Structure formats: structure tokens, C-alpha cells
Structure 1
Amino acid sequence: MSLRLSTVILPYLRWHEGGRAAWQRAEQLGFHTAFTYDHLAWRTFRDGPWYGAVPTLTAAAAATDRLRLGTLVTSPNFRHPVTLAKELISLDDISNGRITLGIGAGGNGFDATTLLKSGQEPWTPRERADRFGEFVPLLDRLLTEDSVSYDGDFYAAHEARNIPGCVQRPRLPFAVAATGPRGMKLAARHGQAWVTTGDPKLYETGTPEQSVQAIHGQVEKLAAACAAVGRDASELDKILLTGFTPDRGRPLESLDAFVDFAGRHAELGFTDIVIHWPIPDSDFAADEKVFERIAMEAPAQLA
């Protein structure tokens, strides 16, 4: 399989002042998928404009024809499986089956505490993993069964109707973000793809070589998790969301730099590389001409 190239378009632009144009340009450039973050706010963008992922993807679905669309990633931090399932079924219908759900346990960022009562402690990593472990299987059922009743530790559903289900059968694909053993098990059982950003411990002080080795270890852990449930890891697409390895933005400095970066990760078994749409004066600043050249020329060099 040729390495696919996708992008992330952050939802900070007004739709009629650059937002729609970016999604349409992503389709013109030939990206396989255009994702967006599903957050209430995010890091350095917290005090600026930021729009909702599902309405943005709905508008993008209406403004494009071939481009796959998705979240990277949705989490239980502020989502409930029942209401999310209804939105996803609607979005899959509007897009005529072009939606991928990137999903993860969530972090401890700004929107992890937005819904908490005053004095309530944020969820610990273990609590987030516990919720995620219940969230994913329930969402799987909600997107594949006409009616679901469930009473769990964190979530409940009483005769939740989801007719007619997804356009994509048996449901839209899950791209599960995971690095730990519990998340890997969920990816192995429920994922059509697995997502990583690399090893966060290496972001500040690690080297690109150390990062590649760490990611290789993650790929091996995924293979073991798949084997444990009787599944071949080659059945899962493997997605690398760039921008969070020690290389940071260097792979987008030139076409050759990107081809070298992407090639090293393709050798690890990755099927998809995701790059951020350039945003001036941000962590994702990049030369737009170089970015577009990468989009148009890199896939052929990586075939």
C-alpha cells in the first residue's frame, strides 16, 4: 500500500473568512483525509476563535465531494456516547460515508476541566482510561445496533435508537489513539486504525532517532495486543499525527525533509502521515508553498 498523506485543519477560522476555502483546497491538493481537533479549546489557541468539530465537519462535508473527513481526536472529556452516536450517524449520512472517527482517552488540557463543578478534581489518567474503556465499546454498539440499553459505571443508555445507522457498514471506522496497554487493547478490538503522536516524553529532549525507536516499540505493542485477541495487526491502518515528535516542524521545511521523515516511518508500517495545515505565528507555522508542494509531490515519491 502506498503511504497516504492527510492533514489537520484546526477550527479557528470563520467559515466564510477562510474556513471553507481551506477544506476545499485540501481536497484540491489530493489529501486522503482532512481531520480537525475535537476540543472546546486548545493550548495556545485558548484565547482566540475556536469552533465546534461536528458543525465544522458537517459544513466541510457539504463543501467537498471526495475528501474523507474526521476528528483527531474525540474523547470522553466532554462527549457522551449516546449523543455522539446520533451526531456521527447524521454526519456520515451528510458526507455520504466519508467520516472517520479518531478517538482517544483525552488529556488534562483546558477542556478536560470545563464541565467540572467548582472544587471537583480533574480525572486522573487511570480514571480517563476507565471511562475510555467503557466509552468505546458502548459507542461501537450504538453505531451498529438499532436499539441499545446499557447501565455501566460511567455511562447509561435506555433504549437509545440509532436508526438507520451509518452509511458505512457495519459502522464508520474508528481510529483509536493509544500508547498504553489498555488503549492498545481497545484499538485491537474495535479499531480500523491506530493513531499515535509518538512518545511525549521525548518531545523536549529526545532525538529523532530515539523517537523512531520509541514508535517502533509502540507498533510492536499494537501487534501483541492484536495477537492477544486473534487479530492480525496488518488489518489496522497506522496513522502518525506529526508535530509532536522531536523533529517538530522540520519535516515541513522542504519536500526532501518530509520524504525522508515519512519514509522512515513508512518502514515501521505506517499507512498514513498527517500534517497540520499551516497557521502563521503558531506551533504549526510553515511555508504554505512548501506545504502544498509536499501535498502534491510527496505521495508519488513515497509510493
Structure 2
Amino acid sequence: MRLSTVILPIRRWDEGQKIWRRAEDLGFHSAYTYDHLSWRTFRDGPWFGAVPTLTAAAGVTDRLRLGTLVTSPNFRHPVTLAKELISLDDISGGRVTLGVGAGGTGFDATALGQEPWTPRERADRLAEFVPLLDRLLTEDAVSYEGDFYSAHEARNIPGCVQRPRLPFAVAATGPRGMHLAARYGQAWVTTGDPRLYENGTPEQSVAALRGQSEKLADACAAIGRDVSALDKILLTGFTPDRGRPLTSLDAFVDFAGRHRELGFTDIVVHWPVPGSDFAADQKVFEQIAMEAPGQVG
């Protein structure tokens, strides 16, 4: 099982770059950041752009994979996003993964002046967003007219360093998102069942994740794809366990082992942010980063 981290884009770069370097030194497989305009309790504090942050991170690291968890149609357009991703993939030497999902009703949903979309409207846009982005990242020139997005002779030469394109990690729990993950994803991302966050139990969460994994397998089978071809990523911090897995090495190994048995290939933990929902002891966190992957297997 691989261990990765999310580094929130809340620090000026003279401080932030030290964390990205440290993430590589600790041996994390990937380091992601959230692609938002602002987010939750951090809304009134510093929050920097995801693509510039990842570009800067590419310049201070050599091995660490970099990515978004997740990019959404809330304020992104496939044509401009594709150009940025191809540039980032080139600058990083082919170390970029795009986490992509439908987005939510948070601050990004209204920042451009629109009313927040319903879950169905978000799913409708994602169903057009992902296939168009796939084309833009694999074809030299693309023209397209859809219900929500258009492209007119959009050129993306020379394309991605990673071929045929950089990998997609598709965040999904519903049937339409699972279909996109099965069809276009190199990985699937989940945070668990949000309905269990407040009052659920870890056992209920494991059962819900097992059910989600089975739905992904069904979606893959429906198009003749082997579900084992997809990595399965669990973004932690949103299950009933919350921050407990980061309280000790043993607690994390137990948590990761239970989810490895469900078929998860990657666990993603938040880099500690004091005074927030992601507060954790930095020394314990670094011990987990260095020792847990070898114990989980």
C-alpha cells in the first residue's frame, strides 16, 4: 500500500516549499493539494492556487508525484485546464495526476456569480467535462460543441509527457461517477460515506466502502474492464475515524490494514495544520510516513 499526503495551499511559498521538500524526504508516494478558490474553515485565511502551487512544488522536488484532489467543473473549463495540465506535466517531468470530481456546494460553487448547481447538474457537467478533457490531453487539435462546454480547434501540442496522457483519479460514489471512473480513470478516489461522518462507526464505514468498491467493480465489468487495473485511493479525514489514525503508528497501521483488505492501494493523509480539523502531532505524523508503509505491506 502506498502512502500519500495532502498539503493545503495555505502558506506563502517561502514556508510552503519546505513542506513539499519534506514530503519527498519522508518518502510519500504523492503529494496533492486541493483545487479550490477557498475552502471551509480556511475561507478567511490565505489560500493559493492549485496549479501554480504544484508548478512551484515540481521545481523543488525530484521524485514526488504531484496532483489535485480534486479539480471540478465548479470554476474550471476543460480547454484552459488542459493547457495548464500539459504545461505542469512537462515542468514536472511527467509526475502529475489529475484528481477530478463533480465538486460540491461550497464556496467555489458561487464564486463566479452563478447559483450553486444541484447534484444532478454537477453530475451532468462532469459527464461532459471528463471526456472532453480526455480528448484535449490526447489529441493535437479538438473541436467540440456540447451542452456545457465548447472547444474550437483547441490545440495542445506537444501533449503530455506521460502517454497517452497524465492519469485521472476520478472521485465518485454514484453510478454516473463510477462509470466515468471505469471508463476514463487510472484511479478511483473516495472519502467514504459522508452520511456516516457525524454519527457512524468505523465498522459501518468499512461496510460502506466495501459497497462502493463493489459498485466500481460492477461499472468496470459493464464495459469489459478489469477493476484491478484501477488504483483505489482513500482520502482520509472524512470517515468516522477522523483523525484517530494519526494518533500513533499502531493506530494508523491498524486503520490502513483494514482498508487494504478492501482493496485500497493508496491512503492519503493531511499534512498537519495546527488549530484545524487536520491538527496532528508532527513527530507522530512523520513516524507514520517513514514506517507505516513497510508494516502495512
**TM-score between both structures, scaled by the size of structure 2:** 1.00
Q: Tell me, yes or no, if structure 1 residue 187 matches structure 2 residue 181.
A: yes
TM-superposed CA distance for 1:210, in Å, is 0.2
User: Aligned to 2:212, what secondary structure does the other structure show?
Assistant: helix
1:4 and 2:2 aligned: yes
For residue 116 of structure 1, what is the aligned residue in structure 2?
A: 113
Q: 138, 143, 146: which is aligned to 1:144?
A: 138
Which residue identity does 2:108 align to in structure 1?
D
Stretches of structure 1 lacking an aligned partner (at least 5 in a row): none
**1:39 aligned residue:** 36
Question: Offset of 1:155 from its aligned partner?
Answer: 0.1
Offset from partner CA, 1:132-161 (integer Å, 9 cap, x none) = 000000000000000000000000000000
User: Does 2:220 match 1:226?
Assistant: yes
1:139-218 equivalent positions in 2, closer than 5 A: 139-218=133-212
Q: Cα distance, 1:274 vs. partner?
A: 0.2
AA partner of residue 5 (structure 1): L
What is the rounded CA distance, in whole Å, between the counterparts of 1:13 and 1:224 in structure 2?
Answer: 42
- Secondary structure in structure 2 of the residue aligned to 1:70: strand
- Residue by residue, what CA displacement relative to the aligned partner does 1:110-147 show, whole Å, maximum 9, x if unpaired? 11110125xxx311000000000000000000000000
Among 76, 83, 86, the residue aligned to 2:83: 86
Question: Deviation of residue 21 (structure 1)?
Answer: 0.2
Shift of 1:300: 0.5
Q: Distance in 1 between matches of 2:222 and 2:181?
A: 12
Question: Which residue of 234, 238, 241 maps to 2:232?
Answer: 238
Q: Aligned letter for 1:238?
A: K
Q: Deviations over 1:211-252 (max 9, x none)?
A: 000000000000000000110000000000000000000000
Whole-angstrom distance in 2 between the partners of 1:191 and 1:299 = 24
| 1:257 partner amino acid | A
Match status 1:104 vs 2:98: no
1:13 equivalent among 11, 14, 18: 11
1:270 aligned to 2:264? yes
Give 1:250's aligned residue: 244
Deviation per residue, 1:60-105 (Å, 9 max, x gap)? 0000000000000000000000000000000000000000000000
**Runs (5+) with no aligned partner, structure 2:** none
Tell me the residue number matched to 1:283: 277
Cα separation, 2, equivalents of 1:39 and 1:112: 10
Question: RMSD in angstroms over aligned alpha carbons?
Answer: 0.4
Cα distance in 2 for partners of 1:92, 1:236 equals 21
From 277, 285, 302, the equivalent of 2:296 is 302
Alignment-mate amino acid for residue 79 of structure 2? V
Does the CA-based 8 Å contact 1:195-1:241 persist in structure 2? yes
Work out the number of aligned pairs and report it.
297
Say if 1:116 and 1:122, in contact at 8 Å, map to a contact too.
no
* 1-structure distance, mates of 2:118, 2:110: 11
Q: Distance in 1 between matches of 2:77 and 2:92?
A: 22
Structure 1 counterpart of 2:54, from 47, 54, 57: 57
Task: Return the alpha-carbon distance in structure 2 between the equivalents of residues 127 and 96 of structure 1.
Answer: 36
3-state secondary structure, aligned to 2:291 = helix
Q: Which amino acid aligns with 1:279?
A: V
Give, in whole Å, the separation in 2 of the partners of 1:249 and 1:300.
Answer: 21
Q: Is the 8 A contact 1:252 1:258 kept in 2?
A: yes
| TM-score when normalising by structure 1 | 0.98
1:133 aligned partner? 127
Give the alignment partner of residue 70 of structure 1, picking from 67, 81, 87: 67
